[in-house]
Structure 1
Amino acid sequence: MPFRLMMPGPGWSAVLLWLGSWLMVAAPAKATHIVGGEMELVHNSGDSYTLLLNLYFDAVHGSSSALDAELTASIFEKGSNRRMANVVLPLTSNTFVDYANPACATPSLSTRKMVYSRAITLAANTYANAQGYYVAVERCCRNEDISNIVEPDKAAQAFYLEFPAVVRRGQPFLDSTPSLFPALAEYACRNELFYYDFSGRDADGDSLTYDLVTPLNGNANAVTPKPATASAAPYDLIQWIAGLGTANQIPGKPTLAIDALKGRLTVQPLDTGLFAFGVRCTEYRRGEKIGETRRDFQLKVLDCAPNATPSLVLLPAPTGRVPYRPGRDTLRLVSGGNRCVRLRFTDPDPSSRLSLSLSPVNFSGLLPNFTTASSGAVRTPGAPDTLTTTMCFPECIDTQGRVFYLDVVVADDGCSQPKRDTVRVAFMAVPPANSRPTIVTTASPTRPLRVQVGDLLAFDVIGTDADRDAIQLEMTGQGFNPTDIGAALSQGTVGTQQRGRFTWRVDCRAVGADSVLNFQFTAATSPCDVRQATVITVPVVVSYTNRPPTLTSTLPVAQSEQIPVIELPLGQVYTATFRGVDLDRDGLTLTATGSSENGKEGFDLALAGMRFEAQNGTGAANGTFRWDVSCAAANLHRNLTVTFQLIDATCKPLPQVQRIRLQVTNPDSLGVTLYNVITPNRDGQNDEFRLPDLPPNFCDMQFANVRIFTRWGQQVFSSSDRNFRWAAGQDSAGMYYYFVTYNDGRKYRGWLEVVK
C-alpha cells in the first residue's frame, strides 16, 4: 500500500536530542513502564488519511527501551484477518500531560504523551470490504507496579482501532475516527470520589458510546517487547487478579464505571496502588456501527490529606434570609419582577479557594450572570469565612411554560480533585412583552406606481419600534431580486427611527410583460433573539412600448421575398441612399455588412471596392452606399450580398433590414467554339489547331495552359499562351486529346483529329 511520510514539526530536533540521551543499545528491559494509549485515523482529503498512535509513558519510572523512534502499525481486513499493510509510524511529538490543577502535582506521577504518526493512502479499490478493517500496534511491557493484574512486568499492550471501508454502496464513505480527550494526569484519593471526562469528539458528527473492557495483552512479551509487525486478531487479554474483572476493574464503592453516553469516568477507590483499566469508544452512523477505538490506561490511587466539601446557599429574596429549597421550590421570573438571587458559599478548610460555575441540565442557551466576583479565598488572613455574590437571570430567558433546571456548583481547589457542592435550581421564566415594529413609506398612495424606462423612482422607508428595539430595514421582491434590476435601499438611524432611502433608475432589466413588480419592505427587530417583522408592499408597473422604425432606400424593390440582384461590368459605379425614421425618437444606427451567397461567410466591404457612410442620430439616420466595380469584387469569386440594417436603441429593438446581391459581369458568358479537325497541308484552311473563342482573361481569372496528348497519353504539345497555334508538325495523323486550364479552376477538354 502506498503511503507518504508526514514531516515532523519544528520541535523534532529537540526530540532527537532528548532521545539521544535515553536511547542505548541494551538487552530487552524487564519493564518499559508504558502507561497506555489509543489510536486515531484522521481523514485529510480524497483518499489521504493520517494514522496516529498516542502512547502514554511513565516519565518517572520509565525505561529507556520504551522510547522508540518509530513503531510499526499493521492493517488487517476484519472479516478474513488478511494483512493489508505494515506502516512504520515515526515519532512526531513528545510532550508532558498537564495536571488540571498544577498545585496538586506529585513527584511520583508524571506522564509523557508520545505521538507516532504518518500520512497514508486508503485507495477505494483496495479498502472496500463491507466488514471493515482494523489496525494494531503491539508493545511490551506495562508498569511493573500495577496492582490489579497478574505479573504486570510481563504484561504487554495491543493498541487497537477499527475503521470502515472507504466505499459503501458504491459511494465514497469518509470517516475520521473519534479523538478522545487528553489522558488523565491526575491521581485518585482513597475513599474519595474520583471523576474524569473520558469522552471523545467526532469530526463527522457520528454518535459515540462508551463501555469498560478488559485491556488487550497481545503477543509481545519481555523477550520480544517490540515485534517487527503486529499479529492478526484475536489478541490475548490481560489477567485480572482474583476478585476483579471487566465490571470490577478497580476495587471501590462505587467501583470503576463509565457513563455510556457522556463518557464520564467515576470511581471511589478503596485501596491505594496503580490500577490498569480499559475503555472502548464505539462509533455509530445512522444507527449502524462503523468502528471503535480502545483506550488502555492506568490510575494511581494515593492516600491524600483530608479535604472537606464546600457548601453553597441560595437566597431568592432580595433581602430575606430564607434559603432556596432544592426539589421543593421553583423560581418564577416575570417581566418587571426580581430576577436575581443571592449566593453564599464557604469551605471549612483553611486557605481554601472557591469558584462558582453554572451547568444547564435540560436546556441550552442563555445563562445567568454574576454581578460580582464568583471566586475567591476563604479562611485565610485578610479573607472572610463566607463569600457572597448575586446571580441574575437575563430578561430574555424564556422557558415557554416549562421548568428549566440549572446546577449552581461551588468547587474548592483541593487535591487531587476539587470537592463540589451543587444546588439544582428549578425556574420558570417569561420574557418581557414586546410589540412588532411599524413601517411606512413616502411613496405615492396611488397604487400601483407607474414608471417608464429612464425614470428615477425614489422614496423613503421608515421603521419605528415602540419598545425601542434596534430595527433593520430589508428589501425583497416577489419573484425577483430588486438588486438584480438596479434597485437599492440605503439606511441609517435617525433618532428613534430607522430611515431608508429607496432609489431605482428604471432600465431595460425591468422590461417584460406589462405586469406588476411587488417590492416588499420589512422592518425587523430581534428582541431576545426572536425575530419580529412587519412588511409593506409597494407595487410598481413598468410601462414600455416601442414602434418599429422605417427604412427606405433607392435599392431595387425585392420581388417575392427574393434578394434583388445588381450586375455591372468593370469600371461602373453604383450608389444607393438610405433613410431611417423612428416615431418614438429612439436613437437610430445604420450599418452595412457583407456576406457570401449562403449568408454566413462575411467579407470586408472595402476589399470589394465598397463603402458605406452613415449619419446616425435621434429619431433619424441617413446613409450612402457606393460600389466602384473593379477586379477587387470579381476576384472574391462569389456572389456578394450586402445587408443594410436600421437598429433602434431601446430595450427591445425592432431592426429593419434590406439586402442587395452584387455581381460583376463576367465575359465568360460568351459562347466557346471548340474545333475538332485540322488538315495541316498548308492550303490555308484548317492548317492549325487554335481556340480563339476561349473565355478571355478576366481580373485574376487567367488562362493557365493548354496540353495535347496522343490517344496513348503521350504529351505532344503544351503552351501557356492563350493565342497558341499547333500545326501537328512531325506528329502523325490520328486522334489527339486536349486540355485547357484556367487558374480559377475552370477546365475545357475535347478531342481533335489530325488529317494528313
Structure 2
Amino acid sequence: MSRVIFRVPVLGWPLLSLLLLWLLPQVASATHIVGGELDLQHKTGNTYRLTLNLYFDAIYGDEGAIRPTLPAGIFVKGTNQRITDVVMPLGSSTYVQYTSPACSIGSLSTRKLVYTSDFSLNPTVFTNPTGYYVAVENCCRNASISNIINPGAAAQTFYLEFPAVVRNGQPFIDSTPQIFPPLSDYACRGELFYYDFGGQDPDGDSLAYDMVTPLNGHATSANPNPGQAVAAPYSLVTWKAGLSEQNQIPGAPTLQVNARTGRLTVRATDLGLFVFGVRCSEYRNRVKIGETRRDFQLLVVNCPTNQPPKLQVTMPGTTQPYRFGRDTLRLVPNGNRCLSIRYTDPDPGSMLTMSTRAVNFTGQLPTFTTRTSGTVHASGQPDTLTATLCFPDCVDTKGKVFLLDVIVADNGCSLPKHDTLRVAFTATQPPNAAPVLSSTFPAAPLPASDANAAVVHIVLGQSYAASLLGTDADKNALALTAVGDGFDLAAASMRFTPKNGPGRATAEFVWTPDCGAVAATGTSNGLLVRFKLTETGPCEPLPQERVVRFVVDPVPDPKPFVPSNVITPNGDGYNDAFYMPDLPLDFCDRKFAGIVIYSRWGQPVFKSDERGFKWAGQGVGGLYYYLVTYTDGRRFKGWVEVMP
C-alpha cells in the first residue's frame, strides 16, 4: 500500500480539498468538547482520587472554553440525594496520540485535559447499599457532529457509579476500571476500523462492555458550565433518523463493542464526525458494583485504496504452505524448529512488519532470526520479503496444542492492515533431570512455605554451622546462593561460602549470633534465609530451595529461679539477708530493671536497681512482698518472711 499523510495546507489535492470543504462551513459554529470519562481510584485509608479526563478539540476548540476548575456532584443512586460536591482543578494538558503518527491529518488533533482532586469517602456516610454516582455537566459538543440532532447545543454529562465503602460491616474498597487511553485515529470509509477500549481494573473485578447513548444532561449553551451538577435523571442526545444506541455510526457492520474485550469495530459507510458512547461495568462475585462511561468522536474520511499484505508460512522440511486446521507443527529435541515465511503487499512502496502473538499460552515466544521488516514494490526493493521464525529449544507444551498468531502489518493509514496466520504446535524439550539439594539443616514441615520453614534455634554467643550439597545427574553447572529475607547476611555476621561447579556445588553456613541480631529480629520471629540451588543448562528447571528460620535463644539459666522466702537477720551469719543469686540472666536489651519490697500495708520499704542487692529487713518481723521487673516487661512477684 502507499502511505498518504494529510497535512495542512496542501493545494491541488482532491482528497484533502473535499475534506476541508466539508469542514469549513461548520468551523465558525464548532465548539470544543470531543468526549471524556470520569475515574475514581482508591489511594489510602478513606482517601480517593477523582479524575475527569476531558478531550478537547485542539484545532477548532475555543481556548476560552477551557475552565480552570470543574465541579463534580456525588449523589445516592437510589434516591438522587446530593451528598457532596468536589471541585477539581485542571492539572495537565497533553495531546492525544495517533496509532501511527505518520498518519496524522491537519484537521484532527485532540488534547487531553486532566482535572483531579483527592477527597475522603467517610465510612459513616457512604453506606447506602444502592451505591452512588458522580456527575460533571458541561456544554457544548462539536457543532460538526453528523449523527445527532443540533449538536452545537448538545450538552455532555460525564458519569460513573461506585459502591458503598462499607458492606456487611466491613470496609469495601473499589476503584473504577481504567479504560485504555484514547487515540486520535480517524476511520477510512469502507475500511474496517478497530479500536481497543478495553480496560484494566485495579481490584481484579470482572469487566463487561456495551454501547450506550451519550448523556446530554442539564447544561445549555446559555449556561455551559453550571456551578453545580444536577442530580439524575439525565436526558440523552437525540440520534438522527435511522440511528440508535445500537446503530450509532452508519456502517456494515455498524459500530459495535466486544462485551468481553472492549474492542470497538466499525466499517463506516458515511463520511462525517460521529459521537458515540461506551460503558464499562465492573462485577465482583457476579454482582455489578460500578460503571464508568466514555464519550468520544470518530472522524470518517475518504482514504486511498489500501490492499492488505499477504504472508505464507512453510513448515520445516517441506515446501508446502502451512494450513491451519489441517497441519500441526510438532517440535522435538534436536529437530528443525524453524518456520520459513514469505510476505508481500500488492501496493507499491509498502513498509511491512512481522510480529507474533501467543493465543492460548504464556512464556517465551519464538524469535525471528532474519529481518522482520522491509519495503516492497519500490525502486531497488524486492517484491517479496522472507523471514525465519525459530522456536526455543526449551518450549514444552506438556502434551497440549499451543496456538501462535504470525502477523504481517503494513503502514497504511489510518490504521495498518494485517494478514494473520494461526499456527498450531506441540513441543517437547530435551530431557533434563532436576538437580538435588540436601543439607544438614533440620527437616521442614510440609507443605513447604515460608510459614513452614525449617527452624534452627541458636543460643546467643554460640556458633552454629551447616553444610549444603547440590548435585545434578546431567553434570550441568550448579550454583548455591543464600539470601536474607529483608536483611543482608554479611551485615548480620552470617558467613556463607559456596563452591560451585559442573554437576556439584557445596556450601558452608556459619553464624555466631550477637545482640545486634536479637535487636534486628526479636526473639520469636527470627531471621529467614533462602538457600537456593540453580542449574545452568539448555533448559533450566525450577531452582531447588530450602528456607530456614534462625531464632536466637538466651543463654540458659544455670539454676531454676526459686528465691528463698524466710530470713533471720540475727547476726549469726546464716540467712541474715534477702537476696536473689539465681535471677534470670540478662538477654541483650532484656535486663534486670529493679526490685521493690513492700510492707503488708503496701508501703515500699526497699528499692534497688542492682542485680546483687541485699536486704536485711526493717528490724520488724512479719511478711513482706516483693516485685522484680525486667526491661522487657517481665515481672516476678512473691513474699518473704522476716524472723528476727
Q: Shorter-chain TM-score category?
A: 0.7 to 0.9
Task: Indicate if the aligned counterparts of 1:490 and 1:501 stay in contact, CA closer than 8 A.
Answer: yes
CA–CA distance in structure 1, aligned partners of residues 459 and 85 of structure 2:
76
Match of 2:78 in 1: 79
State the SS of the aligned residue for 1:228. Answer: coil
Does 1:343 find its partner at 2:363?
no
CA–CA distance in structure 1, aligned partners of residues 249 and 179 of structure 2:
21
Distance 1:504 1:308, change over 3 A: same
Does 1:142 find its partner at 2:153?
no
CA–CA distance in structure 2, aligned partners of residues 241 and 93 of structure 1:
35
Distance 1:438 1:108, change over 3 A: closer
Match of 1:652 in 2: none
Does 1:500 find its partner at 2:507?
yes
Task: Indicate if the aligned counterparts of 2:74 and 2:134 stay in contact, CA closer than 8 A.
Answer: yes
CA–CA distance in structure 2, aligned partners of residues 168 and 191 of structure 1:
50
For 1:514-539, what per-residue CA distance to the aligned partner results, in whole angstroms no more than 9, with x for missing partners? xxxxxx9985658756437599xxxx
Match of 1:431 in 2: 429
Amino acid at match of 2:151: P
Task: Indicate if the aligned counterparts of 2:566 and 2:642 stay in contact, CA closer than 8 A.
Answer: no
* Structure 2: gaps spanning 5 or more residues: 1-27, 442-457, 484-489, 518-529, 547-554, 577-593, 625-639
Using the TM superposition, name which of 418-427 and 372-381 deviates more.
Answer: 372-381
CA–CA distance in structure 2, aligned partners of residues 196 and 302 of structure 1:
16
CA–CA distance in structure 1, aligned partners of residues 408 and 461 of structure 2:
71
Match of 1:274 in 2: 273
Superposition pairs of residues 486-635 of structure 1, within 5 angstroms: 490-503=497-510, 525=535, 528=539, 530-531=541-542, 562-567=566-571, 602=606
For 1:173-195, what per-residue CA distance to the aligned partner results, in whole angstroms no more than 9, with x for missing partners? 11111111112200000111100
Match of 1:93 in 2: 92
CA–CA distance in structure 1, aligned partners of residues 306 and 62 of structure 2:
35
Does 1:70 find its partner at 2:69?
yes
Superposition pairs of residues 133-212 of structure 1, within 5 angstroms: 133-212=132-211
Shift of 1:597: 8.2
CA–CA distance in structure 2, aligned partners of residues 506 and 263 of structure 1:
58
CA–CA distance in structure 1, aligned partners of residues 335 and 118 of structure 2:
60
**What is the percent sequence identity of the aligned residues?**
50
CA–CA distance in structure 1, aligned partners of residues 243 and 281 of structure 2:
24
Match of 2:525 in 1: none
Distance 1:109 1:545, change over 3 A: closer
Task: Indicate if the aligned counterparts of 2:316 and 2:337 stay in contact, CA closer than 8 A.
Answer: no
Match of 1:229 in 2: 228
Superposition pairs of residues 355-504 of structure 1, within 5 angstroms: 355-438=353-436, 461-473=468-480, 490-503=497-510
Using the size of structure 1 for normalisation, the TM-score is: 0.64
Distance 1:77 1:465, change over 3 A: same
State the SS of the aligned residue for 2:152. Answer: helix
Amino acid at match of 1:310: P
Superposition pairs of residues 184-333 of structure 1, within 5 angstroms: 184-317=183-316, 320-333=318-331
For 1:491-520, what per-residue CA distance to the aligned partner results, in whole angstroms no more than 9, with x for missing partners? 23135421212557799x9xxxxxxxxxx9
Distance 1:170 1:456, change over 3 A: closer
For 1:2-24, what per-residue CA distance to the aligned partner results, in whole angstroms no more than 9, with x for missing partners? xxxxxxxxxxxxxxxxxxxxxxx
For 1:45-95, what per-residue CA distance to the aligned partner results, in whole angstroms no more than 9, with x for missing partners? 112112111111111121344222222211111111111122222211111
Shift of 1:406: 0.7
CA–CA distance in structure 1, aligned partners of residues 608 and 212 of structure 2:
88
Match of 2:579 in 1: none
For 1:572-597, what per-residue CA distance to the aligned partner results, in whole angstroms no more than 9, with x for missing partners? x9999xxxxxxxxxxxxxxxx99868
Amino acid at match of 1:301: V
State the SS of the aligned residue for 2:570. Answer: strand
Amino acid at match of 1:330: T
Distance 1:441 1:96, change over 3 A: closer
Distance 1:206 1:605, change over 3 A: closer
CA–CA distance in structure 1, aligned partners of residues 140 and 45 of structure 2:
37
CA–CA distance in structure 2, aligned partners of residues 140 and 428 of structure 1:
57
Task: Indicate if the aligned counterparts of 1:594 and 1:641 stay in contact, CA closer than 8 A.
Answer: no
Task: Indicate if the aligned counterparts of 2:339 and 2:389 stay in contact, CA closer than 8 A.
Answer: yes
Task: Indicate if the aligned counterparts of 1:597 and 1:638 stay in contact, CA closer than 8 A.
Answer: no
* Structure 1: gaps spanning 5 or more residues: 1-28, 444-450, 477-482, 510-519, 536-543, 550-559, 577-592, 607-611, 614-624, 628-632, 643-658, 664-756
CA–CA distance in structure 2, aligned partners of residues 637 and 488 of structure 1:
59
Match of 1:648 in 2: none
CA–CA distance in structure 2, aligned partners of residues 522 and 182 of structure 1:
42
Task: Indicate if the aligned counterparts of 1:596 and 1:638 stay in contact, CA closer than 8 A.
Answer: no
Task: Indicate if the aligned counterparts of 1:368 and 1:393 stay in contact, CA closer than 8 A.
Answer: yes
Distance 1:640 1:236, change over 3 A: same
CA–CA distance in structure 1, aligned partners of residues 545 and 171 of structure 2:
46
**How many residue pairs get matched?**
548
Shift of 1:214: 0.9
State the SS of the aligned residue for 2:137. Answer: strand
Using the TM superposition, name which of 467-476 and 284-293 deviates more.
Answer: 467-476
CA–CA distance in structure 1, aligned partners of residues 281 and 418 of structure 2:
31
Task: Indicate if the aligned counterparts of 1:37 and 1:295 stay in contact, CA closer than 8 A.
Answer: yes
Match of 2:582 in 1: none
CA–CA distance in structure 2, aligned partners of residues 432 and 471 of structure 1:
18
For 1:613-647, what per-residue CA distance to the aligned partner results, in whole angstroms no more than 9, with x for missing partners? 9xxxxxxxxxxx9x9xxxxx89x6656999xxxxx
Task: Indicate if the aligned counterparts of 1:523 and 1:533 stay in contact, CA closer than 8 A.
Answer: yes
Shift of 1:118: 1.5
For 1:193-252, what per-residue CA distance to the aligned partner results, in whole angstroms no more than 9, with x for missing partners? 100101112111111110001111112222222222222111111111111111111111
CA–CA distance in structure 2, aligned partners of residues 84 and 596 of structure 1:
63
Amino acid at match of 1:466: A
| Structure whose alpha-carbon radius of gyration is higher | 1
CA–CA distance in structure 1, aligned partners of residues 556 and 50 of structure 2:
70
Distance 1:575 1:417, change over 3 A: closer
Amino acid at match of 1:222: S
Distance 1:526 1:289, change over 3 A: farther
Distance 1:641 1:166, change over 3 A: closer
Higher relative contact order (CA 8 A, sep 6+): 2
Distance 1:468 1:378, change over 3 A: farther
Amino acid at match of 1:390: T
Task: Indicate if the aligned counterparts of 2:72 and 2:134 stay in contact, CA closer than 8 A.
Answer: yes
Does 1:118 find its partner at 2:98?
no
CA–CA distance in structure 1, aligned partners of residues 150 and 557 of structure 2:
100
Amino acid at match of 1:531: L
CA–CA distance in structure 2, aligned partners of residues 295 and 471 of structure 1:
55
Shift of 1:148: 1.1
Using the size of structure 2 for normalisation, the TM-score is: 0.74
Task: Indicate if the aligned counterparts of 1:458 and 1:503 stay in contact, CA closer than 8 A.
Answer: yes
State the SS of the aligned residue for 1:566. Answer: coil
CA–CA distance in structure 2, aligned partners of residues 265 and 250 of structure 1:
12
CA–CA distance in structure 2, aligned partners of residues 86 and 309 of structure 1:
52
Task: Indicate if the aligned counterparts of 2:566 and 2:641 stay in contact, CA closer than 8 A.
Answer: no
Distance 1:47 1:638, change over 3 A: same
Using the TM superposition, name which of 296-305 and 485-494 deviates more.
Answer: 485-494
Task: Indicate if the aligned counterparts of 2:480 and 2:500 stay in contact, CA closer than 8 A.
Answer: no
For 1:457-476, what per-residue CA distance to the aligned partner results, in whole angstroms no more than 9, with x for missing partners? 86754323233445354899
Task: Indicate if the aligned counterparts of 1:595 and 1:640 stay in contact, CA closer than 8 A.
Answer: no
Distance 1:601 1:294, change over 3 A: same
